[in-house]
Amino acid sequence: MSQTPKFNPARAMQLHEIERWDIETDVAVVGFGGAGSCAAIEAARAGASVQVFEAFSAAGGSTALSGGEVYLGGSGGTPVQLKFGFADSTEDLFNYLMMQHAPQGDEAKIRAYAEGAAAHFDWLVQQGVPFKESFLDERVVEPMTDDCLIYSGNEKAWPEVAHCKPAPRGHAVQMEGMGAGAVLMQHLERVALEAGVHAHYDCRALCLIVDDQGAVAGLVVRQDGRELAVRARGGVVLCAGGFVMNEEMLRQYAPQLLRGNNPIGNPGDTGAGIQMGLSVGGLAINMHEGFFSLPFYPPSTLTYGIIVNDKGQRFINEDAYHGRVGTEILAQASERYYFIVDVDAYGSYEALNFMAADVVATGDSVEELEQELGLPARTLVNTLETYNRFAAQGEDPLCHKQPEWLRPLETPLVALDVTPGRGAFYPYFTLGGLDTLPSGEVRKADGSLVPGLYAAGRTAAGVPRRGRGYNSGISVGDATFSGRQAGIAAAKRAGCGSGPLWERRPAAN
Ligand SMILES: Cc1cc2nc3c(=O)[nH]c(=O)nc-3n(C[C@H](O)[C@H](O)[C@H](O)COP(=O)(O)OP(=O)(O)OC[C@H]3O[C@@H](n4cnc5c(N)ncnc54)[C@H](O)[C@@H]3O)c2cc1C
């Protein structure tokens, strides 16, 4: 017989069920990752008392596991962009992000982000987060050196390149090797504690507490086996990450992501924050969307190859960001997908790759490769004949791969099987969450707000809304940026501070 647990994130407790408050604070933050640390810092600096509740023994969350890439620019350019001659206007950043996330992008959030992103870079630097003044002009998922600035999305790929002035905006935190998110979180945790934030580790938020008017009054947490009632005078800020580790929620909301084989995140990505928001009338939106990637570069030489479906046809410009390529594969109706490369490109793939795709055919001629792959006669032959003919002229009228990556594919050829579910590495995480204002205030279905409730990072539907439009750096950028706004707004409701951050920004160019 199944037993309903007493405490369930999907069921809020009523205020009258609470006998006493064990902890009282102005602002309670759930989760000590990227969004939570920034919410806590800003709320504390606004003068609020702040308590953070983190389920695990250390701060960090997925932010600490991340590459530490932060997507920033606009306002003329960050100091690193400017050093390398990349002037980046707010309008260019705004237009690019709108194009990436249309039609479900949130214009108000993208506007706030575009206006505040360069100042957010300065803020991170002020917190001690190191960024090297360097530009790495290579096609990489994240720098494996301690370099900073990279093109980390579709800036130089079609169709963006035809509409938006390209600028590199991926700013990787300085650390030799991959995984610089750990350095970012070390600094954000330190700064939060120095600002007077009280952190409770090994302390899971169980459910919200709501009053008769539907306002959030606090939450219940479990620490050392005891349930504690926490009163939050200003509000509760939910920064508990997304739901990529909750298979039941994935089946319910975003089943297509389960075609990937590597949910990336931390074990706390159970969707508890989203469920808590839903339990008090909050609306969850964009829940079907996720980052779904085929990280086929480095080596960048694979970009010279082509990807075909089971009809031997191309369907994407292979110089697109790896997340777009993965998402487009998900959207196609095909049983199989193959990366076709020449021997040169394959050589560098062997030396270094994340994709882990198997070689399933080789051919001294295109006909031989086509036969070995079991493709209908002359489909791949026709595709390559057309591709090579135009590539020789530096053109790709079918998929618009840019001239930089066009060269005819010479035999012998190799085919890698990149069909989801057949071994190739497909990491994914969720992009749906609570519907919030740019201030982090949680909205209900009728557009009204849940008083006292805020959400940020992947618990909210933020700036990144589409797998197709995702860029490396936009999730950590959005989590840290939105966390700051939510912290300020919650502190303000507790009577501390002066209001949302971007309103205080000097006018952007
Ligand atoms: C390997 C990897 C690499 C990545 N690289 C990048 C990158 O370079 N750039 C980028 O933009 N994005 C990257 N991402 C994605 C990005 O890291 C995350 O989407 C983002 O950091 C999420 O931030 P967050 O603050 O919302 O959540 P998190 O940083 O995950 O913080 C959530 C916290 O909430 C805690 N929590 C959850 N439930 C509860 C509860 N009930 N009670 C108390 N605490 C709770 C968790 O333990 C966690 O500490 C990467 C992700 C991974 C996994």
Question: What integer pLDDT is reported at residue 92 of this predicted model?
Answer: 97
> Exposed, middle or buried by CB within 10 Å (0-12, 13-18, 19+), for 80?
buried
Both 363 and 472 in one domain: the answer is no
| Residue 129 Cα to chain centre, angstroms | 19
- Divide the 509 residues of the chain into consecutive groups of 10 and give the mean pLDDT of each group: 74 96 98 98 98 98 98 97 97 97 96 97 98 96 95 97 97 96 98 98 98 98 97 98 98 98 97 98 98 95 96 98 98 96 86 88 97 98 98 98 97 97 97 98 98 98 98 98 97 86 48
Query: In this structure, are 398 and 341 located in the same domain?
Result: yes
For position 501, what pLDDT does the model report? 60
Domain boundary among 124, 141, 172: 172
Ligand 1, pocket-test mutation among 475, 478, 482, 485, most atoms within 8 A of CB: 475
| The pLDDT of residue 349 | 78
> Are 451 and 413 found together in one domain?
no
Residues 397 and 315 in one domain: yes
Contact 148, 132 (CB under 8 A): yes
Structural domain that includes position 302: 293-417
Q: How far is the CA of 232 from the centre of ligand 1 (A)?
A: 23
Residue nearest atom 51 in ligand 1 by C-alpha distance: 66
Q: Which pair of structure tokens corresponds to residue 430?
A: 């969720």
Peptide bond into 412 cis (omega under 30): yes
Q: Which two tokens stand for residue 338?
A: 């193959």
Q: What is the number of the ligand 1 atom nearest to the C-alpha of 68?
A: 8
The reply to whether ligand 1 has any atom less than 6 angstroms from the CB of 28 is no
241 close to ligand 1 (CB < 6 Angstrom): yes
- What's the number of CA atoms in the CB half-sphere (13 Å) around residue 220? 23
Kindly state whether residues 235 and 101 are assigned to the same domain: no
One-letter amino acid of 323? G
| Ligand 1 geometric centre to CA of 335 (Å) | 33
**Residue 382 maps to which CATH number?**
3.90.700.10
Residues 35, 84, single domain; the answer is no
440 lies in a domain? no
The pLDDT value recorded for residue 344 is 85
CA 143 – CA 140 distance, rounded (Å) = 6
> Looking at residue 274, which CATH number applies to its domain?
3.50.50.60
Q: Are residues 225 and 320 in the same domain?
A: no
Instruction: Locate all alpha helices (DSSP H) within 127-229, ordered by sequence.
Output: 160-163, 181-194
Ligand 1 pocket residue status of 142, Cβ below 6 Å: yes
Domain count, the chain: 3
